[in-house]
Structure 1
C-alpha cells in the first residue's frame, strides 16, 4: 500500500474543508423558508383563525399600513380583533435571508420559528416542520458523508497495511473482503479499507483508545450511542423517512452538534 505523504494528507483535509464550506455557507435559510401570508391588524380574530385552519398555517404575519409589524399564532386567537393577539417580532426571531442553513438549525434549537428579512422587509417564515425539507436532508447527509470520509482518511493513516483488522470481528472482515473482491472484479481501483461500513469505522475508532481520546470521545459507551443515532439518522435520510425520530428535535439538534464537534476534531488530525 502506498504511503500517503504529509502534504497529501494536508491537501485532503483542505479539500474536505472546502466541501464542508459548501454545506455551511452556500446553502441558506431561504432554501427552506415559506412565504409569510398576512392579515391586517383590525381583522376579526376568529375569522382569521378559521382561515389559518383551512390553510394549515400555524402563524400569520400582521400588517399595518402595508408593513408587517408582527404575527399571530393560530392557537392563541379567540374573540376580538387580531390587534389584541399579535406579537411584535423579537430580535432573536429575525434572520437575514443569507443566513447559512446549518446556523439556522442551531437557532431553531432555542425557538419554534424564525422570520426572514429581505432587505428591510419581513417576507418569509421557517418553522420546525420545514426541517423535513430536501435541503436540510442534503445538508445532514452531506455532513455525515464528510465525517465518514475523514474517518476513512484517519484509519488509513493510523493503520497501515490493514492493521485495523485487529479491531473487527471475523464476520465484519469477511464482509469487507467479499465486497472488495466484488468491486475489484468490476475493475474498480480501490483498497480493502474502501469497503468498510460506518459501523466498522466506528468500531475501529472506538477500540483504539489513543485515537478515541484524540477525537474527543470520552468513552466507548458514549461513542457507541452517538454512532448508533448517527447511523439511524443516515438510514432515515437515505430512505426518505421522518428525520425527527421519536418526536424529539432536541435530540436531533444535540446529534448535529456532536457531529460538528467530531468533524472539527477530525480536521485537526492531518
Structure 2
C-alpha cells in the first residue's frame, strides 16, 4: 500500500527536528571533565601517588603554562614526568562543540579523548564518562525516535488495523486492553498507539516490502538487531551499565546501525 508523500514529509520534518535536538545540541562538553595537569619537570613517583589518591588514570603535562601532552599513571616510574610524556595525536583530540553522538563513534578507536576549547586542551573524556546521564538521554532519545518512525510507518502502510495479521492474539489483546484504559481517560488515540516496540518490530519485519525499504536483509537479522536495541533500552531505563553484557565496540556498532535505520526511515 503506497504512502502519502505529503503526510510522510511532514512527519519526517518533525522527527528530524527532534533528532537534531538530541544529536547536535548535546555536545562532548556535557560529559567531559577538567583535565588535571602536572609540570613536565615534576617527579614521576610523586605525580603517580597523587594520581592514585585521586583515582586519575591520565593527566595533562604542562610546559610554560601550555598542555603539551599527557601521562598515564601506569607508565610512571623513576625520573621526571618528561620521560613519560605522550604527545597528542590528531585522533586524540576533539573540539568542545563536537556532538555527543559523533563522540561515541570516535570512541570505537580510542579509550580517551582530549577536548580543545579555543586553542587549548582543557578537558578529557574516558570510557567511564559514557555512563553519564547525557549519554543515556541521547541513546534513549535515538531509540524513541526509531519507535516513533515505526509507529508512523505502520499507520501509513496498514489501513483499518490490517497490521493485526502480524501479531498473536495475546499481543492484540494486550494492545486492546491498553487502548480501553487510555480511552477511559479521554485520550484521543487509535489502537496502533497502544503497540509496544516489540509489536512494531514484528509488524515491520513480517512485511517484506517494509524490510526492503528499511534495508533490513532478513527477518532473522532484523530480530537480532532489535533484540540488542531493546536490551540497550532496558539497560538505559533501569540505570544498568551500558556495556554489561557486550563490549563498548558492540554498543557503538549498534548505535551506528540505528543511525543507518533512521536515515532509511527518513527517506521512505
Q: What is the TM-score of this pair, normalised by structure 2? A: 0.97
CA distance in 1, matches of 2:5, 2:261: 21
1:256 partner SS: helix
CA distance in 2, matches of 1:166, 1:245: 36
Counterpart of 1:212 in structure 2 is 211
Counterpart of 1:132 in structure 2 is 131
Counterpart of 1:94 in structure 2 is 93
Counterpart of 1:115 in structure 2 is 114
1:15-43 CA distance string (max 9 Å, x none): 10011111111111100000000011111
How far the C-alpha of 1:245 sits from its partner, in A, is 2.3
Structure 1 consecutive aligned stretches of length 4 or more whose deviation exceeds 3 Å: none
CA distance in 1, matches of 2:221, 2:113: 33
Counterpart of 2:57 in structure 1 is 58
1:91-129 CA distance string (max 9 Å, x none): 111111111111101111111111111111100000111
CA distance in 1, matches of 2:216, 2:75: 45
Greater Cα offset, 46-55 or 252-261: 46-55
Summarize the Cα distance change of 1:72–1:247 in structure 2 as closer, same or farther, 3 Å threshold.
Answer: farther
Counterpart of 1:150 in structure 2 is 149
Counterpart of 2:19 in structure 1 is 20
Give the root-mean-square deviation of aligned CA atoms.
1.3
Query: What does residue range 63-74 of structure 1 map to in structure 2 within 5 Å?
Result: 63-74=62-73
Q: Which runs of 5+ in 2 are unaligned?
A: none
How far the C-alpha of 1:9 sits from its partner, in A, is 2.1
CA distance in 2, matches of 1:204, 1:87: 53
> Between Structure 1 and Structure 2, how many residues are aligned?
267
CA distance in 2, matches of 1:40, 1:200: 58
Counterpart of 1:260 in structure 2 is 259
Greater Cα offset, 242-251 or 84-93: 242-251
CA distance in 1, matches of 2:5, 2:28: 37
Q: Which runs of 5+ in 1 are unaligned?
A: none
How far the C-alpha of 1:63 sits from its partner, in A, is 0.5
Contact kept, 8 Å, 2:4 with 2:156, in 1: the verdict is no
Q: What is the TM-score of this pair, normalised by structure 1? A: 0.96
2:61 partner SS: strand
Counterpart of 2:181 in structure 1 is 182
